Amino acid sequence: MPARRKINSGKNNKRSLARLASGKKRSKIFIYLFLIILTFSLFLFFVTSRKYWDGEERLTLAVQKLDGDVNVVTFDPITSEIINIAIPGDVEVEVANQLGVWKLKSVWDLGKQEELEGTLLARTVTKHFKFPVFLWAQSEASGFYEGNVSGLFKAVFFPYSTNLNLADRVSISLFSLGVKNTKRFEIKLEETSYLHKSVLADGEEGWKVVGDAPQDITSLFADPAFSEKAYRVVITDATGKVTLAKDVGEIIEILGGKISSVNRQEVDPRGCEIRGKDKDIALKVVRLFPCELGSNEPQGNFDLEMVIGEGFAKSY
């Protein structure tokens, strides 16, 4: 009879277990590598696809609240502060695009009717209060500055009208998570000298802007790219409107620019063109107004030139 092979079941089981353990270890390594690659890819996606905010410069956002009030919120990575300027909805404002005088709380709906969405709100806040802002959002964006996780989740992932993209929202939320409550401030505009209780054009009681905005508020909108370089600005005015260049110039000066000259010309039907030596800075001005970025250099020794005509006067 042939000899029988002796089977050592104990050793075979140990080898099987060792192979199984080795396989599990390799699987864990692959999972870890996948998660690392995925995390890095998401990081690159958010960094490269941010539309407006690099997380280094000050950012300002106009938020339409459900009760009609409007919050103008500044996120400042230099001071690690979030400052919310609360504006009551029953302030009487001169609406952008020459749409007349309305209460602030009506501007969002006007923007929908004019197919401008929140752009009309941002431009109205810029024009009437002299608060330079071009970013806008509905009330869900309140979560960016209220300081709670559930609010941040809504602000990032819930659908709502805004010109911020997803990457911008993630960047703002990450910044907000790192801001302490002691670094979150609210300024109620009705408690300042800038607003005065009055009877409005519709016969109801509300608020009106009086004089100039307090300097401690306008300083929140200063852009170091302008102020640190003593940015010289010339306005070429062909609007035929006596005070328009002055009004626009005040907004640019709040940003930190210096209006060095205003050149009056014959009325021209053109709109608005911004010409700048530094195209990134010129683009910041373009976003605030109904303007286009020009390809020509500014005249003379100026850093930036704003050329405005009759078309701009109609859309400002």
The two three-digit tokens of residue 123, written as one number? 């431009």
Question: How much is the average pLDDT of 115-136?
Answer: 97
Q: Which residues pair with 185 in a beta bridge?
A: 83
pTM of this prediction?
0.84
Question: How much is the average pLDDT of 175-188?
Answer: 95
Question: What dihedral angle (degrees, nearest 10) is formed by the CA atoms of 70, 180, 57, 162?
Answer: -40
pLDDT tens digit sequence for 299-308: 989 999 999 9
pLDDT tens digit sequence for 206-236: 999 999 999 999 999 999 888 777 789 999 9
Q: In terms of DSSP bridges, do strands 232-238 and 304-309 run parallel, antiparallel, or are they unpaired? A: parallel
Q: What is the pLDDT of residue 18?
A: 54
Mean of per-residue pLDDT scores for the chain: 88
20, pLDDT greater than 60: no
Q: What is the pLDDT of residue 224?
A: 87
**Of the candidates 254, 186, 242, 256, which has an alpha carbon nearest to the alpha carbon of residue 218?**
254
pLDDT class for 15, splitting at 50, 70, 90?
low
Amino acid identity of residue 230, one-letter, is A
Domains and CATH numbers, the chain: 59-216 (3.30.420.590), 222-315 (3.30.70.2390)
DSSP string, 165-210: -HHHHHHHHHHHHTS-GGGEEEEEGGGSTTEEEEE-TTSSEEEEE-
Higher pLDDT, 202 or 22: 202
pLDDT class for 5, splitting at 50, 70, 90?
very low
Q: How many Cβ atoms sit within 10 Å of the Cβ of residue 78?
A: 9
Question: What dihedral angle (degrees, nearest 10) is formed by the CA atoms of 123, 127, 129, 130?
Answer: 100
Instruction: Provide the 3-class DSSP secondary structure of residue 265.
Output: coil
Higher pLDDT, 234 or 18: 234
Please say whether the dihedral angle defined by the alpha carbons of residues 136, 140, 145 and 149, taken in this order, is positive or negative.
negative
Please say whether the dihedral angle defined by the alpha carbons of residues 221, 223, 224 and 226, taken in this order, is positive or negative.
negative
